Amino acid sequence: MKRTTLLYAAFGVDDAAWLGGFREQAPDLDIRAWPDIGDPREIDYVFVWKQPLNLFDGMTNLRAVFSLGAGVETLLAGGGLPAGVPLVRMVDPGLATGMTEFVVLRVLHYHRNMHLHEANQRDGAWIQLRPKLPEDRAVGLLGLGNLGASCARALVGLGFDVRGWSRTPKLIGGVETVHGEDQLADFLCGTEILVCLLPLTADTDGLLDARRFAQLPRGAFFVNVGRGRHVVEEDLLAALDTGHVAAATLDVFREEPLPRQHRFWTHPSVTVMPHCAALTQPKTAVRTVLDNLRAHLAGAQLRHVVDVARGY
């Protein structure tokens, strides 16, 4: 009898950890690695990241595609994904932990005035700054999904005044939640530290423009860990230049790697990070994928299937 076949087709990642992990944890599966796929009709499942366009050619019996990443806009946009084959995005505890650490780190950085203390040290200036109490600091999360909700819970645990914005209503203990475009302006008006954790979709592309930055209170901070295309970069730079946005931490960009001549690199109020807020961790994620795959083989519904029409 034919064994279930999983094709590994992830690019630009640590193959030893990922492919080695799959082979070690699933010796019962026929695990193939691109480009040695054999007969494409034999492929049941594919694990992908940054795949070549023709990857799925001839895979007429494909049962599901697993993405190494949480954001699937590239796969949906032009990945040649066969119609009707479920696409599963990455929902994994290791990823959520990494993102929560990063968001807490940057929120605390701004909340505790570290950007000012670092500048004062450069000037040799000894200046004590009393931070606000966390309960008096409004942190607003755009996106309350797997990652946004995890960050929200951690920030609530630290005592912050946490708000969140999503597409549909959400209930998260200690978080003031709003939803829909109608509520976005009010949400931004009350947000001192804005964190973007949205997926990139037709509705969220270019969402953060001059109008939206102007709705933040003067001196607000911005942390973008969603996607670069959520931001109109020139509008953010203008808001930073006037000080309306006091400082920004940017982990994602319209073009990655960020071109060497881009103004973000040298802007005094910008911290540039190389898209590493949360890197999917093979140690936990291989198990997550295999658990989902095995349950599917046993007849269960796949978990975390992307709604293609919605775009996330």
What positions carry a catalytic annotation? 227, 275
Q: Which does 225 bind (CB under 5 to 8 A by kind): ligand OXD, ligand NDP, none?
A: ligand NDP
Of these, 4, 51, 100, 166, which contacts ligand NDP (CB under 6 A)?
166
CA-closest candidate to residue 199, choices 69, 50, 71? 71
Q: Give the span between the Cα atoms of 149 and 186, in whole angstroms.
A: 20
Binding status of residue 51 toward ligand OXD by CB under 6 A: no
Pick between residue 4 and residue 280 the one whose CB is nearest to ligand OXD.
280
Q: Give the span between the Cα atoms of 45 and 33, in whole angstroms.
A: 12
Quick check: 44 and 61 in contact, CB under 8 A?
yes
Pick between residue 21 and residue 143 the one whose CB is nearest to ligand NDP.
143
Binding status of residue 224 toward ligand OXD by CB under 6 A: no
Q: Which stretch binds ligand NDP (CB under 6 A): 33-41, 138-146, 187-195, 264-272?
A: 138-146
Of these, 115, 117, 275, 287, which contacts ligand NDP (CB under 6 A)?
275
Of these, 6, 37, 90, 246, which contacts ligand OXD (CB under 6 A)?
90
Binding status of residue 252 toward ligand NDP by CB under 6 A: yes
Integer angstrom CA distances of residue 117 from 87, 91, 106, 112, 210? 46, 37, 14, 9, 29
Give the pairing of strands 138-142 and 161-166: parallel
Of these, 224, 280, 288, 292, which contacts ligand OXD (CB under 6 A)?
280
Residue 278 C-beta: closest distance to ligand NDP, Å: 4
CA-closest candidate to residue 282, choices 63, 94, 46, 6? 94
Pick between residue 5 and residue 224 the one whose CB is nearest to ligand OXD.
224
Q: Which stretch binds ligand OXD (CB under 6 A): 16-24, 67-75, 238-246, 294-302?
A: 67-75
Task: Give the other-Cβ count within 10 Å of 218's Cβ.
Answer: 11
Q: Give the span between the Cα atoms of 236 and 233, in whole angstroms.
A: 5
AA letter at 117 = H
* Size of residue set near ligand NDP by CB under 6 A: 31
CA-closest candidate to residue 63, choices 236, 299, 234, 271? 299
Q: Which of residues 86-115 bind ligand NDP (CB under 6 A)?
A: 95, 99
Site of interaction with ligand OXD (CB under 6 A): 69-71, 90, 280
